[in-house]
A and B are shown apart, each in its own frame.
Chain A
Amino acid sequence: MKHTLAVLVENKPGVLTHISGLISRRAFNIESIAAGYTEEPDTTRITIVVEGDEIEQEQVVNQLSKLIDVIKISDLTAVESIQRELALIKVKASAATRSDIINIVEIFRASIVDVNRETMVIELSGDETKIDALCQVLEDDHGIIEIARTGKIALSRGPIPAKDQ
């Protein structure tokens, strides 16, 4: 089972090294990891998607909690949450195929952020399955040149922030 963890950490150099080092050392099965600033300048929020059973998930949380710079971990799988990922997809696009790609982009409510004579870059945010679906269609019909995905970020629904959960 997949668990989405919101990990609040001190915004200091070396914190990501500590976290990624721990993950690799303990051989935890991490699907994605995404970090960024938060509403508090001294706090960074890292969203980690863990694949594993309850025991493994518990070990990930307990081991990460031991890191001095980890302030709080909340499991967003256990609560109602909004989960999003951003993808940039560079797809082959000639004059002849452009309109079909534009159609696909509209169906997925994605947007086109760059066009040239041979390619287009498409931006899409959504859950993992939606991005996978768009990638599948584009790959099959037109051919993808490269993809950049951010990994999942997530927020709980309702007024309570992760730091107070």
Chain B
Amino acid sequence: MFESEGVLRHCIGILCTQLYIYSGRKKVRVTDLIITGAEAIIESLKNENVDVVFGYPGGAVLTLYDALYQADFRHILTKHEQGAVHAADGYARATGKVGVVIATSGPGATNLVTGIATAYMDSIPLVAITGQVSVPLIGRDSFQEADIRGITTPITKHNYLVKKVEDLPGALKEAFYIARTGRPGPVVVDIAKDVFADSFDYQYPIEVKLRGYLPVYAGKSKMIDKVFAEMRLAQKPLIFVGGGVNLSDSSEDLKVLIEQSGFPVISTLMGLGCIPNDHPQFLGMVGMHGTYAANMATTECDLLIGIGVRFDDRVTGLLSEFAAKAKIVHFDIDPAEINKNVLAHLRVVGDIRWSIPALSQQVKNVSGEITEQVRPWLEKVRDWHREKPLTYEQGPDHIMPQEVVEKVSQLTQGDAVIVTDVGQHQMWVAQFYGFKNPRSLLTSGGLGTMGYGLPAAIGAQCGLPDRMVILFVGDGGVMMNCQELAVAAEYNFPVKVLIFNNQCLGMVAQWQRMFYGGRYSQTSLKGSTTDFVKLAEAMGVAGLRVTKPEELEIVLEQALAIPGPVVVDIRIPEVLDVLPMVPAGACLDQMMMGGVEG
């Protein structure tokens, strides 16, 4: 039994209102709607207000694609299932809606795995619909059979295998509900091929009742009181924000709290954008490639208020020394995050849409008093930030990647949707782009998936057709899913693809330089015969190249002005390090600085 009969019985169909008469407030069905499983999926997606799905057809989902033929929402046909799932992820991050991806059984489904894991690590709401072989063939190593439910168990919030058509509406309703509520995450619905063709009396459930899933909204207000008491005592407090603030669209609430308290603020990679970079209390990103001020403030603070963060090892460095002088407060919707990596002195479990305003309610009464109390500390950390800002050496002969990011930041006034791949360019974007808005940095922070950027940018552009979407990507990562350039061209998604071409796998090479005696094992791409301009043009995308610093601005302006998609091959030096850097497992205050002394 996939679901208890009681739950389904509880659900009253809402498919077409004309099919129902109203008896008091309860809908009573008078007409049956007999449709196939495939048609039921289309109807269910409509009920979930899905306006676009990303996918790739195949044997097991033929019947579903037949029903899709007449669907009135869009289907974006990518070139690879991995492209489809990353695009759905990019769409979800950019819009806040649930991303939907469809793939066939076996290899179609397994090609989703990296994308599902990427979404899982960053808590992105995704529903992946996969075809499975017919029920009688399951478990017999049939053609294109893979146990995708088993495979995705550790990388999904939940997953289903639907073997009876009657179970389909309930599974889809639950999948969307689970994906978007609480701490969001990906859900896989694997559907046996014969289920698509079976007809049944379709009713879409109105509500979901799951005994084992009751996402918390409001937590204990007593804990808010305790945090407030600590805030009044603190001399050197620090607010530390993460992806949870972006995911819950709480940046406005956060700004209120920050301004009421006068506390300095640092961010994780995933939290960037939820507070404007130029905010006077903002010290930038913390962690391995964080700013001097952010890392020093973490080391020196006496109260660290973590909001929607998970204390990832790239942030904390050596755990035992992380914020060792501070009381740690942890706000999170997921109780399992508390004490997972860092022991919290105070925990506030609940939706930060509840907890931040609740805390602000108290802080506002003493705003002047605590702002005054922490002013010396704020001045001190701001001095650190002024004295040791992020810098880089500008050479006359070559284009510096940081300079590219700064130029793009100026040209877009910090207002673009920025997508990155993974590696050095990702960190330079995090350091040098002047983010202004929440949900404006889409990046694979947790899993660190190379090849994520291009399809994610396409998905983001699909969800936000009126926004400028800019992808920063390395010459390594772009090749991992470069086939999706054709999708940008065919659907005219005008993404701007800026390739930082250093002819090597920069981040790995940096580690080889620092920790492996400069033995560049398999990280040089000097032998590459790929011409990115021609590659772009072959796919139907405009291609530009820039090699000289004096041409950079003109070419960037030109690229941003092209109405369609464009690839810019930007030649940057091979040997560059992302700095500052805290070596893995070291204390945050042990930064290798580099750059220009400011």
Contacts and interface: CB of A to CB of B under 8 A. Distances in A.
Nearest to B157: A68
Interface string A49-85: 0000001001100110111111110000000000000
A12 interface: yes
B110 to A, nearest CB: 17
Nearest to B340: A59
A12 B339 contact: no
A98 to B, nearest CB: 46
Interface stretch (A15-23, A134-142, A143-151): A15-23
Overall SS of chain B's interface = loop
B210 interface: yes
Given A11-B1, A14-B149, A21-B154, A68 B210 contact: yes
B4 interface: yes
A71 B1 contact: no
Contact of B336 (A14, A42, A65, A69): A65
B185 to A, nearest CB: 10
A117 interface: no
Q: How large is the interface on A (under 10, 10 to 19, 20 to 34, 35 or more residues)?
A: 20 to 34
A12 B343 CA distance: 35
Contacts, number: 52
A67 B154 CA distance: 11
A86 to B, nearest CB: 28
Given A55-B343, A58-B339, A68-B178, A42 B212 contact: no
Given A21-B153, A21-B154, A71 B212 contact: yes
B213 interface: yes
Interface string A77-119: 0000000000000000000000000000000000000000000
A18 B159 CA distance: 10
Interface string B134-159: 00000000000000011001100111
Interface in B553-594: none
Contacts of A65: 335-336
Given A14-B161, A55-B343, A65-B335, A71 B211 contact: yes
Nearest to A70: B212
Most chain-A CB neighbours within 10 Å: which of B212, B213, B335? B212
Contacts of B2: 12-13
Interface of A: 9-14, 17-18, 21-22, 25, 42, 55, 58-59, 62-63, 65-72
8 contacts: A9-B212, A14-B149, A42-B4, A62-B338, A68-B157, A68-B174, A69-B212, A70-B212
